[in-house]
């Protein structure tokens, strides 16, 4: 089986325990996460081959991160060991009406300072079918932006399909460029796009009078996304939909235009969210894996949505589940009976 | 006061903490549980005399199990100390749309290999009024099946009433017999039966065209259960009803045919389930205790339902509550105000 | 900025962890709380000056309590170090349909035995604008009752406005007086009153045929409270409203008569309560702070209600939040999106 | 087998975790302990019959204490359920050169206020051979002093042998009497005495010029203790010897005059003490059990010393070990090999 | 670099926390360990290629074990996924004068029932230089004995050197054979032998009048081991020496006859042992790695001894350290300064 | 009482729990520490006035650090809230023969980039008697070096005595200057110097043929330090002496030249070190406090040594003890008896 390759930043995440506020006690939970790595972990757990590319400092943090990736069966052989520090972030985990809040401490990280010349692109794309990239990496630093664009070109050169998740993080993009100046060039070379109405209009420059923060009907959605597909020559545009009742309660589903048709997943009432971080990546990992596992778009979308739904119940960025569990949920009427 | 006697298997339960997946961290929570022991603990906590009969290996696990039963005021004097190992199971505790999953490791356990000749039946049934038995024990092994049937006969010989919970576990019954071949013989000697529509039709051979996994109205239910009562010469048939929204959210109630009449409990919306395992046993313990505590069937059913409702909020198999707390819930309109 | 002064008892609270029952494991969580101290902490976190007055024994518990108050920027310089013990209480934290239960062990505490002569009232009320007092302190002991009334008079003497929260605790008031004999004298000297319909009728002697435990419409409420205001010469009467679905699920809002007009806050569905204890004090602290932060009563009420809503998600008596977080919630349509 | 009966106070012990200082984090470890109860637990674990007598308040703390005693197979049937509170103490567990420190909060406890008339002395001493009492109980309050003396007389009346441990606690004895005024009357009726040189001279009034805090040779020791035996008509005087290098490192042994002869145990270098509290009681429990298990005094003393040595490695007041483990240690040359 | 291959059983180890006794609280620590796997992990951490061969059941336990091995960079590609259960053991971790105690629950494990025909021996020994085997595996069951001997022959067939650790476990060998009947056949085909005086005389049949449990001088040792080498045609015999002061305090060193000469390592006073389990395997892993890393026997022995010394400070069976740390310790005069 | 002022960097310290290796589990312990802050905390706990000056970023970490300092009664009013990040370090806590290891991640911290112009020096030195500075701060960055020297000059201008601790950290000093180029200028303006033989010869340029890493006799020591005092016009030179047996076992004492005379403290065998980090600062804090508490140099030295000895038993950088506890240890013969 060919490989899914992801490139980006993996950070140490330091988060409060259970329902505590950050540093309410002296205990912190340390996991590792980053959008592209999370996608690779999902894909690997679903039985695909996944290769993650990044730069790690050669210290206790970098080595632990690699240990954990290896445990998930992600290929780490293209990681470059160079740089001074691993980016990190503090997560004050939200609960009910108290929202989660992220404090980034990721400047000067290994990935933010590395150059494309440090990587072996032939090795990276060896036997690769998909290359997954997001709007996070080019938001980190000027050199990370250059690295991203260089990587996408290297992928296309080798006929590797590009999957791009817009993933707009307002707390990034401080180095002088805006996301709307950068992403169009990347999306132009992409095949699969993860983007919602806001992204299409505000970042990718699709003209529209719609209120992109409001409710949009299926026709409006289809029209907007088909114009996006056309403009950027994409094969599909996919997005999750989330009605946020509180930090602990979301109504979750997804939509896609695939093969020129609108698909909508079933909706999940998620009342007792454990950890929402990484649920978007569990969705993306579900789509990329679903392309191998299923023939029809509806199944692919349902698989990815169920994958993401399960992620909401798992602590940490990674979706510690299996193909069997996800399929069981996507096929279930209810869910939650004890298997014994 | 006379005794409620239970016989069966007590296992070490190793479960994940909080919302973790099994072995996500290196910490496991070790409690002890088994359906009949759970019933005895409930009864003892509600002020009745309860005696639990099983076989324990004479090692650190068996001794700890006895220590904890003694702390609950369960009479352990008829436990036989013989056998190589205590059965155990790993519980990947479900959360929201992720279901719980049990991995049994109970083969070759002390109880699965012991013979009825190892027990002192006079001592076991001394001063006993009820003997509680389930469909779990005869599913463990051929010798456990024989032991169960032998025990039921010993009980009847001494005019001890038999309470039987079908408790069908699909992961058991691997030794060559099916539950529908075994349970009828046991139910024939029972007085009180815990069984639902599925059990009546599929296991106890009551003829019916009903869809036993679907919705059944009160008339259909009453008809089915009255035929069950008649066929097996029972005094009552009782069952819990559970609408599973997710692992964390169930709507819970119960139904019974007692004294030839249908009774239905109030319904509880249980939104934040802590631990559902053992909640059926907390219900059974509530019924058997209710028979002592109340005169009318509706009260007995409400007491048992409230007992089970509280169990959903308590970690571990045992219902760490009191008669007063259960009565307070069964009588409350709302619930949940702080008592201070 | 002038000071908000609170006087009362701070206790060590020993509570069960997570969803455990009290002493189910050997681990207890030790925090400190008391209604007036909780109010001071809220005020200090919202940027006001707050001074807390009490008596502490000079031992490890008293010193730890002071350390934690200092960390919250509460002025502890008027605390008197005298007395044998710190009061304490055990909290069996409720969950879902299992209610919380408090076991007090607060008799003979330092505050219950101290005399008004031990305090320096000039220092206590130096630069003070509000003095907050509750119905808890006079319920502790005869001398605490005397202390409370003495303190209120000292406040009035210095033109410090008095804020009084009825806070009826049925497990107190064992020393021979009833709350309805004591509170009227205190409320007479108050400016701001926190009381609901029950308090007005049953404790403050306002005549009414209303069912004070039932549903009361706005007109009835307004009439009752305006008569309370008139009788006791108050500036406002304020109360929280709580529909208790379970220990984990409350629908929460508030009402007030301020400037002769009825105000009602928005309602919060709080589905995943972490710790409800102290949420009333977070509301009071929100009102007293809101008086400084906002001009109009609706904003003050919304700020206090959002403050209390957040408190439900925080473990311990103290509302570990900030003015910014509370304002963000009071202005939000939904809530719970990750800020990153 | 006849019973060992202990009477005294059981307290809730709230101690810091691991090497933390008290309340350095918000976590406390809650166990139950009291000198006479600890002795009963040791005896019960060594296979003897043990009955513990005290007064418990009928609340969550009292009930948990009983549950744990029952788990240790201690007979709790003579406990009186009366009184307002369970005494408690905070333990700042020492480590290395930092000593442990106890903050008592035991005034007004159930046992300190109960009268001898509340107990059923015939039931208490039914089938009893030894009654164990210490200098702790009469130091609590005047009524506890009276209770102790009354109980000793009731024991003697029924020919139950009295075992008395001086156990001088300087933080007690605040109610107006001194230990040297009280203990002689109790020791006069005792058979076995646990006391060291200090106790003999300063509390029991044996005349001596020895420096009772210094080093005393065997002859001096023998002379002093034989005079004690003679004066009080005892069968034996026994004591532990402890060279305190630090909180974590003690050199531990014991001495006794039994049958008119001096016996000395082997010495244990205990370098990594986990919890020293209760080690004296584990010794006493070892002696009282040893009287049943062994014929010669040296074995009795070695058994008790090994029992106490093991206690130093066990967290909590109770000596969670077995007869087999203690015998294995008393017979070992080295110790500490893994048994696998 | 060529591979070190280990074959044996990996078990789930359930151990008590810190200084607790097993099940004193409900928390257990779950790690995975087995002598040959531990050796592979050490080798992999020291930079060698290591391949571990065993049988795992295809369940949550087997999959977690593989995840953790992969994280340690151990090649798991030859593991056979077959069998009903993973063996497990409970570890009551010793402390000071309280010894550790192991309760095995490993019967019917996957490895104990598998046949040599289930393995692909060409793949197993591909590119292998050493094959490590111990006396544990043939002690499990008759079929495991056959498997071990078959495997050794397959290794020799391919010119892979055999390293054998006697590792006598008295709690095994219950299936009808004794270790002294089995190991000679295995040692005959070995090159490197890990064995002490006891093993040589009692298991390998070397004639001697020495007290193998007592003190043996260098000449006696050398004579005994040279006769062992000669009889079995070995290249070296190596052993650790351990003076057990207590569970927490060992004096640790090692000895070897290599190239016909006696070598002795320096001695380590290990006063604060964290976890001794696996320290012998950390030594073996150190020797096998040392053969690659160093030229002279003294360095190899010092490296292995320092590796084992560090293992005593690490919780779990695996030696979570690095080549650099071990070399730093073997070269240090003292040890323990903070590197900052 | 006048103030002790400290200026430097406070970092978040993320350390492994108990005996775990860093990130062996996902749990980290988060405390705050920095050499000068640690000194201030000690002084404040001993009853002196202490003011800590630094720069904090205005985020969750800075605010928590201030909260904890306030709890220790350290004056934080001169802290400047400016800068992007709080420096942090990861501590792999050593155990026995495994040394502790620090991974710094402190570049670009608030204090490393701030200018002296951001501080209000009059406010900082208001009512100050001592200003404590170390060799850590000037090792961070060029601007931190400038800030240190500027601060020392501002102190001298106001007749504030300067206390300087050399505190050589090899992992710092990466910005282009060496410690021996920088510290002499600072020491020239100091009154009290904390330095050992190595520091004197290698950093402060005192000529000597002594082996500064070896054993030095009292005469040699006195001669060396008196020349240091003379060259730099100091009042005293003080140092701790540490014989490192392992990470868990140090023999600890101190030496000083004060008033022209050599003083030596008693020696402590510290066998069970909990946390050595900050013990040097606990010593410095003890000296500066001792100057207020005692008249003669021997007492000052013994107080500081006992303060540091206790710190070794306390987790975290701060010496959570009291004047009374330290005096009790300095006066004790043994130590470690339970106070009850």
Per-residue pLDDT, averaged over A75-89, amounts to 97
Give F200's DSSP letter: I
Split at pLDDT 50, 70, 90, the class of E335 is low
pLDDT tens string E301-325 = 999 999 999 999 999 999 999 999 9
Shortest Cα distance from C20 to chain E (angstroms)? 12
Per-residue pLDDT, averaged over A103-129, amounts to 96
Q: Please list the residues that pair with D194 across neighbouring strands.
A: D165, D238
pLDDT tens string A133-143 = 999 999 999 99
- Are B313 and C19 inside 8 Å of each other by CB? yes
State the Cα–Cα distance between residues E166 and E135, nearest whole angstrom: 5
The subunits that touch chain E, with at least 3 C-beta pairs less than 8 Å apart, are A, B, C, D, F
Q: What number is the ipTM of this complex? A: 0.95
pLDDT tens string B116-164 = 999 999 999 999 999 999 999 999 999 999 999 999 999 999 999 999 9
Is the pLDDT confidence value at A335 over 60? Answer: no
pLDDT for residue F333? 74
C-D contacts at Cβ under 8 angstroms: 62
Shortest Cα distance from E73 to chain A (angstroms)? 8
Q: Which of C28, C60, C108 sits opposite D108 (nearest CB)?
A: C108
B128 part of a folded domain? yes
pLDDT for residue B215? 82
pLDDT tens string A292-307 = 999 999 999 999 999 9
Chain F residues whose CB is inside 8 A of the A28 CB are 14, 27-30
- Are D310 and E98 inside 8 Å of each other by CB? yes
F266 part of a folded domain? yes
pLDDT for residue C215? 83
| Helix C142-157 and helix C179-187, axial crossing angle in degrees, nearest 10 | 10
A167 part of a folded domain? yes
pLDDT for residue D162? 98
% of chain A surpassing 90 pLDDT = 94
- Are A336 and B244 inside 8 Å of each other by CB? yes
Q: Which of F22, F23, F108 sits opposite A108 (nearest CB)?
A: F108
Split at pLDDT 50, 70, 90, the class of B18 is confident
Q: What is the mean pLDDT of chain F?
A: 96
The subunits that touch chain D, with at least 3 C-beta pairs less than 8 Å apart, are A, B, C, E, F
pLDDT tens string F110-159 = 999 999 999 999 999 999 999 999 999 999 999 999 999 999 999 999 99
Structure tokens at A302: 């349902």
CB atoms within 10 A of CB B13: 23
pLDDT for residue F176? 94
pLDDT for residue A139? 97
Split at pLDDT 50, 70, 90, the class of D212 is confident
pLDDT tens string B174-227 = 999 999 999 999 999 999 999 999 999 999 999 999 888 888 899 999 999 999
List CB contacts of C44: < 8 A, sequence separation 6 or more: C50, C72, C73, C74
- Are A104 and C273 inside 8 Å of each other by CB? no
pLDDT tens string D149-164 = 999 999 999 999 999 9
- Are E64 and B23 inside 8 Å of each other by CB? yes
pLDDT tens string B244-256 = 999 999 999 999 9
Q: What is the mean pLDDT of chain A?
A: 96
pLDDT for residue D126? 97
pLDDT tens string A149-207 = 999 999 999 999 999 999 999 989 999 999 999 999 999 999 999 999 999 999 999 99
pLDDT for residue C207? 95
The strand pair at D236-246 and B236-246 is best described as unpaired
% of chain F surpassing 70 pLDDT = 98
- Are F85 and A108 inside 8 Å of each other by CB? no
Is the pLDDT confidence value at B337 over 70? Answer: no
Q: Which of D21, D102, D272 sits opposite F338 (nearest CB)?
A: D102
E340 part of a folded domain? no
D340 part of a folded domain? no
Chain C residues whose CB is inside 8 A of the E28 CB are none
C147 part of a folded domain? yes
Query: Among D67, D106, D51, D64, which Cα is nearest to D83's?
Result: D106
The CATH code of the domain that includes E197 is: 3.40.1190.20
Shortest Cα distance from F61 to chain A (angstroms)? 8
**Total of domains in chain D:** 1
Chain A residues whose CB is inside 8 A of the F61 CB are 23, 90, 103
Per-residue pLDDT, averaged over D12-39, amounts to 96
Give E82: exposed, middle or buried? Use CB within 10 Å, 0-12, 13-18, 19+.
middle
pLDDT for residue D18? 82
Query: Among C337, C309, A268, A252, which Cα is nearest to B249's?
Result: A268
B337 vs E127, higher pLDDT: E127
Q: What are the DSSP calls for B72-96, one per residue?
A: TT-B-TT-EE--S---EEEEE--BT
D42 part of a folded domain? yes
Asked if A91 contacts C327 with a C-beta cutoff of 8 angstroms, the reply is: no
pLDDT for residue D1? 73
- Chain D residue with CA closest to A27: the answer is D25
Give D267: exposed, middle or buried? Use CB within 10 Å, 0-12, 13-18, 19+.
middle
Is the pLDDT confidence value at D337 over 80? Answer: no
pLDDT for residue F215? 82
Residue C20 φ/ψ, nearest 5 degrees: -65, 155
Query: Among E334, E330, E315, E214, which Cα is nearest to E274's?
Result: E315
Shortest Cα distance from E272 to chain D (angstroms)? 8
Highest-scoring range by mean pLDDT, A325-334, C149-158, F14-23: C149-158
Structure tokens at E5: 């291959």
State the Cα–Cα distance between residues F183 and F193, nearest whole angstrom: 11
Asked if E23 contacts E101 with a C-beta cutoff of 8 angstroms, the reply is: no
D282: left (phi over 0), alpha (psi -120 to 50) or beta: alpha
A339 vs A128, higher pLDDT: A128
Q: Which residues of chain C have pLDDT under 70?
A: 334-340
| Helix C35-45 and helix C60-71, axial crossing angle in degrees, nearest 10 | 30
| F258: three-class secondary structure by DSSP | strand
pLDDT tens string F221-245 = 999 999 999 999 999 999 999 999 9
Numbered residues of chain E with Cβ closer than 8 Å to any chain C Cβ: 25-26
pLDDT tens string D92-143 = 999 999 999 999 999 999 999 999 999 999 999 999 999 999 999 999 999 9
State the Cα–Cα distance between residues C148 and C158, nearest whole angstrom: 16
Q: Please list the residues that pair with F243 across neighbouring strands.
A: F251
Secondary structure of chain E in HEC code, one letter for each residue = CCEEEEECCCEEEEECCCCCCCCCCCEEEEEEECHHHHHHHHHHHCCCEEEEECEECCCHHHHHHHHHHHHCCCECCCCEECCCECCEEEEECCECCECCEEEEECCCEHHHHCCHHHCCHHHHCCCEEEEEEECCHHHHCHHHHHHHHHHHHHHHHCCCEEEEECCCCCCCCCCCCCHHHHHHHHHCCCCEEECCHHHHHHHCCCCCCCCCCCCCCHHHHHHHHHHHHHHHCCCEEEEEEEEEEECCEEEEEEEEEECCEEEECCCEEECCCCCCCCHHHHHHHHHHHHHHHCCCHHHHHHHHHHHHHHHCCCCCCCCCCCHHHHHHHHHCCCCCCCEC
State the Cα–Cα distance between residues E40 and E8, nearest whole angstrom: 11
Split at pLDDT 50, 70, 90, the class of D334 is low
Is the pLDDT confidence value at F40 over 80? Answer: yes
State the Cα–Cα distance between residues D316 and D276, nearest whole angstrom: 9
Shortest Cα distance from C70 to chain A (angstroms)? 15
- Chain D residue with CA closest to F270: the answer is D96
pLDDT for residue C339? 67
Structure tokens at A247: 């930090």
**Where in the sequence is the domain holding A213, given as residue range(s)?**
3-236
pTM: 0.96
pLDDT for residue C208? 93
In chain D the first and final C-alpha atoms are separated, in Å, by: 34
Q: Please list the residues that pair with D51 across neighbouring strands.
A: D5, D75
F337 part of a folded domain? no
């Amino acid at each position: 089986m060919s490989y899914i390759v992801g490139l980006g930043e993996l950070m140490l995440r330091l988060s409060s325990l259970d329902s505590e506020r950050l540093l309410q006690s002296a205990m912190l939970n340390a996991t590792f996460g980053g959008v592209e790595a999370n996608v690779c972990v999902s894909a690997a757990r679903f039985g695909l081959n996944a290769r993650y590319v990044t730069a790690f400092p050669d210290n206790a943090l970098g080595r632990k991160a690699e240990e954990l990736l290896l445990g998930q069966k992600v290929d780490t052989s293209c990681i470059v060991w160079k740089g001074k520090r691993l980016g990190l972030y503090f997560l004050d985990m939200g609960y009910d009406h108290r929202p989660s809040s992220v404090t980034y401490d990721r400047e000067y990280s290994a990935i933010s300072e590395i150059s494309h010349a440090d990587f072996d692109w032939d090795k990276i794309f060896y036997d690769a079918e998909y290359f997954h990239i997001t709007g996070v990496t080019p938001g980190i630093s000027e050199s990370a932006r250059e690295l991203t664009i260089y990587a996408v070109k290297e992928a296309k050169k080798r006929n590797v399909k590009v999957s791009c998740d817009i993933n707009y993080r307002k707390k990034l993009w401080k180095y002088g460029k805006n996301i709307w100046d950068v992403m169009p060039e990347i999306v132009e070379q992409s095949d699969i796009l993860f983007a919602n109405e806001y992204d299409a209009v505000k970042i990718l420059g699709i003209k529209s009078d719609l209120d992109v923060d409001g409710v949009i009907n299926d026709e409006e959605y289809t029209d907007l996304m088909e114009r996006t597909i056309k403009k950027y020559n994409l094969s599909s545009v996919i997005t999750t939909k989330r009605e946020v009742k509180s930090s602990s309660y979301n109504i979750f589903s997804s939509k896609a235009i695939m093969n020129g048709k609108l698909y909508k997943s079933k909706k999940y009432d998620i009342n007792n969210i454990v950890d929402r971080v990484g649920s978007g990546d569990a969705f993306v990992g579900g789509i990329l894996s679903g392309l191998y596992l299923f023939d029809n778009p509806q199944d692919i979308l349902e698989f990815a949505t169920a994958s993401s739904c399960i992620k909401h119940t798992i602590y940490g960025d990674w979706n510690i589940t299996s193909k069997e569990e996800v399929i069981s949920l996507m096929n279930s009427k209810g869910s939650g009976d004890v298997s014994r």
